[in-house]
Amino acid sequence: EDDVVRVEDLRLSFYTTLGVVRALNGVSFNIPRGKVLGVVGESGCGKSQTGLSIMQLTPGRIEGGRILFREFNTSDVIDITKLEKNGPEMRKIRGNHISMIFQEPMTSLNPCYTVGHQIEEAILLHQTQDKAEARRRAVDILRKVGMPNPERIADSYPHQLSGGMRQRAMIAMALSCNPTLLIADEPTTALDVTTEAQILDLMRDLQHEIGTSIMFITHNMGVVAQMCDEVAVMYLGRIIERAAVDDIFYDPKHPYTISLLRSIPRLGVARGQKLESIKGTVPDPYSTVPGCPFHPRCPAAIPGLCDTVMPDEMFVAGSRTHTVRCHLYT
């Protein structure tokens, strides 16, 4: 098996004073070595919590399932859910084998230290004891992420950099350990289009160079088209469709995927013309919807079936890679 990570039937809940929120209701997927899996869906569907669960950084409680992880060049498979959140094995995985980058770089950059110092610390922790060598590698990786003057950037504090530069610095830090898996949670959402394009190019290059697998969380289908090999579409804590990127764009099956695609701004849309938005809203997180979770918003819902029976995940006829969870395809 060439999977770097395999998530099986993951269940995650939040216990709040208002009740229990079932954030993930049996999420299963795999990411093969060196591939980019896009995870898409509206906010609140569980994309970020899936990524945070893999890092054991979610504030929720994992109630079931497994997260099997295999680092580069080993055959050992570790079930991350069995590791202690802040134990030494989990810390080693977080710093060394799985990295995560976020929309807001200040969540992972420390404002009190220079950018170079922070990257050097990560390198000293895991790769070499030699300080001069760590400095050389830090400057080198800053150059790789497209910093025009890496020596000077290394000596800058995060607040001295622009948003785009900070994002590059965070990516440099995340990549300084040559991670087996990179979890990117909306990493370019806050950036202008030009910087976004540069950052996406950069991630693609590094993925080719190092062979890192990427879980790319986004609500932007345009970014998915540029970045991803495969796509998992999430709705209310479940994956409702999964396929190669071309199949998602040219042959989407699930009514929710179809409406997500319709909501993408297209070049042909006249200025000021309203984009189609998806009917209805995501239900109250404290309640559970019987049947297919999308039925209250689904234009194709079958009365008496969709509102009572949860559809199973199944392969689309004639495909061995495209799966969907919808009664229209049984």
> At closest approach, how far in Å is the CB of 257 from Mg ion?
19
Angle at 66 between CA 65 and CA 72, to 5 degrees: 165
Q: Least distance (Å) from ligand SF4 to the CB of residue 103?
A: 29
Chain residues 204-263 in contact with ligand SF4, contact rule CB under 6 A: 254-255
Out of Mg ion, ligand SF4, none, which partner does residue 135 contact, by CB within 5 to 8 A per kind? none
* Binding status of residue 294 toward ligand SF4 by CB under 6 A: yes
Residue window 31-70: x/- pattern of binding to Mg ion, with contact defined by CB under 5 A = -----------------x----------------------
Q: Which is nearer to Mg ion, 48 or 259 (CB)?
A: 48
- Interaction partner, residue 48 (ligand SF4, Mg ion, none; CB < 5-8 Å by kind): Mg ion
Here the tokens at position 164 are 């785009």
Q: Are strands 181-185 and 213-218 parallel, antiparallel or unpaired?
A: parallel
Joined together, the tokens standing for residue 43 give 């906010």
Count CB atoms within 10 A of the CB of residue 130. Answer: 12
Closest approach, Cβ 202 to Mg ion, in A, equals 22
Quickly tell me which residue has 């009514």 as its tokens: 255
Q: Which two tokens stand for residue 69?
A: 């992880």
The secondary structure of 263-321 as a DSSP string is TS--TTSPTTPPPP--SS-PPPTTS--SSSTTGGG-TT--TTTTTT-PPPPEEPTT-SS
How many CB atoms sit inside 10 A of residue 317's CB? 8
Residue 251 CB, shortest distance to ligand SF4, in Å, is 16
The Cα–Cα gap between 259 and 225 comes to: 16
Part in contact with ligand SF4 (CB under 6 A); list of ranges 109-117, 188-196, 222-230, 288-296: 288-296
Angle, helices 88-96/115-126, rounded to nearest 10 degrees: 120
Q: Are 252 and 258 in contact (CB under 8 A)?
A: yes
Looking at beta carbons only, is 78 or 258 nearer to ligand SF4? 258
Q: Are 235 and 45 in contact (CB under 8 A)?
A: yes
State the CB neighbour count (10 A cutoff) for residue 274: 6
Residue 294 binds which of ligand SF4, Mg ion, none (CB < 5-8 A, kind-dependent) = ligand SF4
Q: How far is the CB of 121 from Mg ion (least distance, A)?
A: 27
State which of positions 143-182 bind ligand SF4 (CB under 6 A). Answer: none
Q: Which CB atom, from 137 or from 238, has the smaller least distance to ligand SF4?
A: 238
Question: CB of 279: closest distance to ligand SF4 in angstroms?
Answer: 12
Number of C-beta neighbours around residue 33 at 10 A: 16
How many chain residues interact with ligand SF4 (CB under 6 A)? 14
Query: Which stretch in 81-89, 114-122, 176-184, 296-304 sits in contact with ligand SF4 by CB under 6 A?
Result: 296-304
Q: What's the min distance (Å) between Cβ of 20 and Mg ion? A: 20
Range 301-330, binding ligand SF4 (CB under 6 A)? 301-302, 306, 311, 326-328
Q: Which does 292 bind (CB under 5 to 8 A by kind): ligand SF4, Mg ion, none?
A: ligand SF4
**Half-sphere exposure (Cβ direction) of 275: Cα atoms closer than 13 Å:** 13
The distance of closest approach from Cβ of residue 317 to ligand SF4 in the complex, given in angstroms and rounded to an integer, is 15
* Nearest-angstrom CA–CA distance, 306 and 76: 42
Extract the tokens encoding 138.
């830090």
**Which of 300, 312, 314, 315: binder of ligand SF4 (CB under 6 A)?**
300
Please give the residue ranges that form the binding site for ligand SF4 (CB under 6 A). Answer: 254-255, 292, 294-295, 298, 300-302, 306, 311, 326-328
Binding site for Mg ion (CB under 5 A): 48
